[in-house]
Amino acid sequence: MPELPEVETIRRDLQGEVIGRKIKLVEVRNGRTVRRHPSAKQFRAQLEGHVIGAINRAGNFILIVLDDGSTLVVHLGMSGQLHRVKNVKEPKVPHTQVVITFTQGGQIRLVDPNAAGELFVSAAPAEGERALPELADLGFDPLEEIMSWEKFWVLLSSHKTGLKALLMDQEFVAGIGNMYADEILFAAGLRYDRMSNSLSSQEVRRLYRSMVETLAEAVKRRGSSLADEQYRDLFGVIGEYQEQHQAYEREGQACRRCRSVIVRVKAGGRSTFFCEHCQV
């Protein structure tokens, strides 16, 4: 599933490509993708003829603000991709679920093999995006909301749970999933199962810095594409940050910090990768 760095990369790509463009036509090829609407026709009617005014993000949701104040909400699910296509005659690849065509030319296509992602239009104005049920309970955004380590310490201390589980709790911090939780904890030198209220002030500082720096560097390198290459940016290019991974999917390989072996355990039904020597 695309995590915060991948979604932020796509948001920035969209910002440079579609702001100010008028939506001419919307084609829905799979009704499951617009399942919150009573019909594909009703979904299309809320988009066609409108101009895109802004591209925002809340956690892993892309928020496309229209000229009437409504918001097209995009969630890519497990395997969704947005493609920018400049030639509308270009053949559609398999699993193309929705096609948005602009009056000035070109399209945005949602390609989603599992059809687990979705698009829906909310009447909530841009300034009221957090009123959407999916967004109302999201935690802080580690790319957008800079806080003091003391405030972060207070947030950590108010919970009594394992660090990885807390980092992946979308009501605590928005956008972090399995992959980046492992990378953040490796950078901080902390085990996945350390209790969140057990950290020293130095460890809290280290964790906060590692979270911000890891995510920022991942965005700079345009996200992580794993072996299946399910994540690609708006232009179909794979990310580069996977080349910098220190722990995730490196089971049996040497730790790049201490040369011990990276191990994998199951925690909360998910694979967790870490170094038993470096992370305490």
- Positions marked catalytic: 2-3
- Residue 234 has which token pair? 């708006």
User: Closest Cα to residue 266, out of 184, 172, 190, 193?
Assistant: 193
For 94-122, b where at least 16 C-beta lie within 10 A, e where not — what string? ebbbbbbbbeeebbbbbbbeebebbbbbb
CA atoms within 13 A on the CB side of 165: 13
| DSSP state at residue 105 | S
- Residue 105 has which token pair? 């030319």
Whether residue 212 contacts residue 141, with contact meaning beta carbons closer than 8 Å, is answered with no
Contacts of 168 (CB under 8 A, 6+ apart): 176, 177, 178, 181
